[in-house]
Structure 1
Amino acid sequence: MSAMQTEIVLPPRRALWRRLGTLPLFSHYNRLVMLVLACNVAVLGYGLEIGQWWSSAGVDLPVLSGLVMANLSLAILIRQQYVINLLFWLATRAPTCWPLAIRRSLAKVYHFGGLHSGGAMAAIAWFALLFGSMIWQRYAGPGDVSLTLLGLNAGLLGLMLLVAIMAMPAIRARFHNAFERTHRFAGWAALLLFWVITAVSAREQNPTAALIDILPRTVSFWVLLLVTLSVALPWLRLRKVPVSLVRTSSHAVIARFAHHTPFAGSATAISRSPLWEWHSFANIPAPGEEGFRLIISRAGDWTGAFIEQAPTHVWVKGISTAGVARIETLFKSVVYIATGSGIGPVLPHLLARQVPISLIWSTRSPRTTYGDALVDEILQAQPDALIWDTDMRGKPDLVALAYAAVQSFGAEAVICISNQKLTEQVVEEMEARGIPAYGAIWDS
């Protein structure tokens, strides 16, 4: 440990009651999950007491079906790229003259995935309740539910449960490729089944009318159409684009694209096999230059193969999508903590110079790994950057360095771009001392 680190004394954490909101259990993500679930519990209470959705005469199946669609639509639409960019745009409209308490909350906009998870869980719960009600109505009630509908709904419930199980954090982390493919293919199959169920239900309720006349009169048709367009839109922009690669070392390459120029704080997903595997990387546009770069470092089989077997073209889909670093404009000044290729999401903000920045970059042999040109570019944009060579100096105490930088630079917030464990540590330790801190939350 260096003398610089030993001189840094962190203040004690604030009292537990003052930092409950900063604990992972009470994160903005989980608060949004609980908000969605609480709203659905309130709706269930209404249905049981006032709405009388369940009675000896039967069950109000259309209402239950509508609640499934409402929650499922929330879960899907909140992940749509245009919606995500709109959320970030709205959140970052706040001027820096607003109170810090408001701005630090708006900066948590990237926790919107809580609405996705809450909506998905509520949709599955309502669907299970709907399916159980259909079984009762078939065998113990009026008996007006067909075996065809029961079979289709049983298959759909199975698909929804499969997607939910594979999305559980422990399973998703261990079997990420399986999670991604299950989400994609089982999700598409579920959407198709929703269309089939909607058509069969409309046919059974109106046996003599043409489907083309019946479906447009139902709310579920228009909701399904909107959801389907949302899912299809990124794939309608699927294209194969050329890429030029500069291999800076056996650990990293810098990929350059010219097909468009994205905004700073965004990411692009690329693939070599578009139906099977996608990986997102932070865009690095430079002011006054066309195109952008990506820094891709070795972090598994896919990135290893990308470095060793450099492609001439890759697939891209959808649009560039805002990421956590986009929130920097909510603050008067920011400390960035980056490790390894985490410098990629930070670099466009250094170049854009929209906000005063203090940079701490910890990486092994920066010039050997990422090239002299990249390091010189960083130092030109940020002459006072602290570039910590872990091969020469060992691993730093990034929490202590972040706190020292906040105090010396007078920064309002810390943004950490690193691996999950270190990001969570820096964010939690800063928040525990009253300093707004942000970092990816690995919710997708």
Structure 2
Amino acid sequence: MEMPSMMITLGRSISCQGVSFDLHHNIESTSHPPPVGLISGEQQNGRWVWIPWTRSTVTTTITTTTTTTTSKVFPSVGVVSSSDDSCDFKLDIKDDDDDEDRKKLTLRAALDIEKQSSLRRKKQQAASRESRLSIILVDQGLFTVYKRLFAVCFTLNLIALVLAITGHFPYAKYRAKLFAMGNILALTLCRSEAFLRIVFWVVVKMLGWPCVPLFIKTATTSFLQSLGGIHSSCGVSSVAWLVYSLTLNLKSSSSSVVFLIIASIITALLALSCLSAFPVIRHLHHNVFERTHRFAGWLALALLWVFVILTVDYDPKTKTYHGITLYRLVGREDFWLTFVITFFTILPWVSIKRVSVSVTAPSRHASIIKFQGGIPAGILGRISRSPLSEWHAFGIISDGKDSHMMLAGAVGDFTKGLVSDPPSHLWVRGVHFAGLPYLVNMYNRAVLVATGSGICVFLSFLLQPCNADVCLVWVTKGVEENFGNEIKEMMSGHPKEKVMVYDTMVCARPNIAEITIEAAKNWQAEVVVVTSNPQGSRDVVRACRAAGFPAFGPIWDS
């Protein structure tokens, strides 16, 4: 009985949906030498650690008496491994009447491979259906630093509010609006990029010495990374204080109707801002959250000025308005609170400008945006096509000299538009901000882990002198194909123990947590910082902390 020839094709590249399989028949390999500048590959415990700059082809021919199997693979070894990505693996079975049993055995093996690949894909699809919001909010833990800061701040406000209501805190009772404005000032500072840039710089200068105990550095990093907990808690607390103040004014016979209307509108706007920032809304409708938060906040701030000025001008005894004087205005606490809130609110906006940019797309998966001016390592920036609509933050790549650039992975409408319709000009904020990557400068030795375009926030640590000695681990697919020769060149020329790149187009996708722990041990790292998707960051952080290494990754309200 003749068996027709057949071809089984799985995917597009050497990585086969995470299915690992070995072919140990008579293997004859013909490999082409790697190009100059290639970081040599090593096979350690079944994995590859190298940077394949070009798509050189190694052909492995597997020959038996009756079966000829040809596959194109990158590593020229006797084991064909696959990863979570897709691959080109072609299996041609030729007719041979003399050895039908061997032919059936080979066909069965091929079908088993296809079955394993199908099961793997189903598992991945099931995992992808897991709520990203659940990973961000629940799986990160119920007692994260962010949530503890929220709880502490809100509890302190609640205690003060209860004491004021019960008459045990007269100062708060008669100055409830000042407590509300104090909370608004605190939440503004926790999100002021200019203010935090100064705070981060001072912290790095003060704690970046080798003599400072590691636990102080890690505790400070946890606190600064989680300032959003104070921001959100102060937002909710300010609404509570405003409601209390409004209730007192409603009971007072000397209150002005105008005051009550303005105070009610301010309270409603702040409550709307808090509701729009609720995690489910913020996650599922981010643009709605961003615009509501911004414009409701601006309108509330404008009305707050009206309220403060009218308060100074109003005489509750006669219920009339007198002429306002500058002397009376500057002598009020609420005036200075409102002034500082306004200053830090408008500071980022007075620094925005429209600049010419050079946008190139090495592939349909990423774009590179170039700007003038050098930037320190660990700094991030925001760009926009329409400044009143939406802003997007990206890590900055710079050698600290004359220019800098951003690497934007094409994952959303804005970033995809940079590839399909590259702009000649973009709006930028002159005040760049510091985040978690900047705090790497506080440590002596650090391991930085990135997947995909997340590498952009760490590249500056390789290009310019920095306080920290870093080891960079990058897991991605198609370095040159997706990110271009320029990014490839930035990664090359470094010792292999300092820069490790796992390209899943040519090798099996590694267990990122395991290789991170191994790198941290070899590098004797004080800290691990990871930039990946929520689940990947969570897994790496948990594994590193279990292994005894302080680790940090982006949180949902970073």
Same fold by TM-score greater than 0.5? yes
Counterpart position of 1:165: 275
Confirm whether residue 118 of structure 1 aligns to residue 236 of structure 2.
no
Q: 2:527 aligns with which of 391, 410, 413?
A: 413
The superposition leaves residues 104-140 of structure 1 with CA deviations (integer Å, 9 ceiling, x where unpaired) of 11222222222212221211111122223323x1xxx
Q: Describe the shift of the 1:5–1:228 C-alpha distance in structure 2 as closer, same or farther (beyond 3 A).
A: farther
Asked if 2 retains the 8 angstrom alpha-carbon contact of 1:96 and 1:330, the reply is: no
Which residues of 2 match residues 129-144 of structure 1 at below 5 A? 129-135=244-250, 137=251, 142-144=252-254
Counterpart position of 1:41: 158
> CA–CA distance in 2 between the matches of 1:156 and 1:76?
16
CA displacement at 1:6 relative to structure 2: 7.3
Counterpart position of 1:17: none
> CA–CA distance in 1 between the matches of 2:140 and 2:533?
19
Q: 1:191 aligns with which of 278, 301, 307?
A: 301
> CA–CA distance in 1 between the matches of 2:508 and 2:282?
32
Counterpart position of 2:552: 438
Confirm whether residue 313 of structure 1 aligns to residue 425 of structure 2.
yes
SS in 1 for 2:398: coil
CA displacement at 1:220 relative to structure 2: 0.7
Q: Describe the shift of the 1:432–1:121 C-alpha distance in structure 2 as closer, same or farther (beyond 3 A).
A: farther
> CA–CA distance in 2 between the matches of 1:382 and 1:183?
47
> CA–CA distance in 2 between the matches of 1:91 and 1:392?
42
CA displacement at 1:383 relative to structure 2: 3.8
Asked if 1 retains the 8 angstrom alpha-carbon contact of 2:382 and 2:391, the reply is: yes
Q: 2:335 aligns with which of 203, 206, 221?
A: 221
SS in 2 for 1:144: coil
Q: Which moved more, 1:406-415 or 1:125-134?
A: 125-134
> CA–CA distance in 1 between the matches of 2:45 and 2:426?
43
Q: Which amino acid is the alignment partner of residue 114 of structure 1? A: G
Asked if 1 retains the 8 angstrom alpha-carbon contact of 2:355 and 2:425, the reply is: yes
**RMSD of aligned residue pairs (Cα, Å):** 2.2
Counterpart position of 1:379: 492
Consecutive unaligned residues of structure 1, counting only runs of 5 or more, are 8-21, 55-59
SS in 1 for 2:505: helix
CA displacement at 1:170 relative to structure 2: 1.5
Counterpart position of 2:441: 329
Counterpart position of 2:89: none
Confirm whether residue 31 of structure 1 aligns to residue 143 of structure 2.
no
Confirm whether residue 66 of structure 1 aligns to residue 178 of structure 2.
yes
> CA–CA distance in 2 between the matches of 1:196 and 1:208?
13
The superposition leaves residues 296-347 of structure 1 with CA deviations (integer Å, 9 ceiling, x where unpaired) of 1101111111111011110012411112111112222111110011110010
The superposition leaves residues 366-397 of structure 1 with CA deviations (integer Å, 9 ceiling, x where unpaired) of 11001123112212245432211123334321
> CA–CA distance in 1 between the matches of 2:417 and 2:301?
33
* Higher radius of gyration, 1 or 2: 2
SS in 1 for 2:490: helix
> CA–CA distance in 1 between the matches of 2:228 and 2:168?
32
Bigger helix share: 1
Asked if 2 retains the 8 angstrom alpha-carbon contact of 1:351 and 1:381, the reply is: no
The superposition leaves residues 56-113 of structure 1 with CA deviations (integer Å, 9 ceiling, x where unpaired) of xxxx44x100100011100012211221112212322211222221121122222222
Asked if 2 retains the 8 angstrom alpha-carbon contact of 1:84 and 1:322, the reply is: yes
Q: Describe the shift of the 1:370–1:209 C-alpha distance in structure 2 as closer, same or farther (beyond 3 A).
A: same
Q: Which amino acid is the alignment partner of residue 226 of structure 1? A: V
> CA–CA distance in 2 between the matches of 1:40 and 1:161?
17
CA displacement at 1:174 relative to structure 2: 0.8
CA displacement at 1:150 relative to structure 2: 1.8
Counterpart position of 1:246: 360
Q: Which amino acid is the alignment partner of residue 168 of structure 2? A: I
Q: Which moved more, 1:36-45 or 1:345-354?
A: 36-45
Q: Which moved more, 1:276-285 or 1:117-126?
A: 117-126
> CA–CA distance in 1 between the matches of 2:513 and 2:45?
10
Q: Describe the shift of the 1:5–1:340 C-alpha distance in structure 2 as closer, same or farther (beyond 3 A).
A: farther
Q: Which amino acid is the alignment partner of residue 298 of structure 1? A: A
Confirm whether residue 149 of structure 1 aligns to residue 256 of structure 2.
no
CA displacement at 1:234 relative to structure 2: 1.1
Q: 1:292 aligns with which of 386, 404, 425?
A: 404
Counterpart position of 1:269: 382
Asked if 2 retains the 8 angstrom alpha-carbon contact of 1:264 and 1:285, the reply is: yes
> CA–CA distance in 2 between the matches of 1:150 and 1:45?
23
> CA–CA distance in 1 between the matches of 2:348 and 2:45?
47
Question: Structure 1 length normalisation: TM-score?
Answer: 0.88
SS in 2 for 1:391: coil
CA displacement at 1:23 relative to structure 2: 6.1
Q: Which amino acid is the alignment partner of residue 166 of structure 1? A: S
SS in 2 for 1:269: strand
> CA–CA distance in 1 between the matches of 2:272 and 2:177?
20
Q: Describe the shift of the 1:300–1:203 C-alpha distance in structure 2 as closer, same or farther (beyond 3 A).
A: same
> CA–CA distance in 2 between the matches of 1:6 and 1:113?
42
> CA–CA distance in 2 between the matches of 1:25 and 1:88?
27
Confirm whether residue 423 of structure 1 aligns to residue 537 of structure 2.
yes
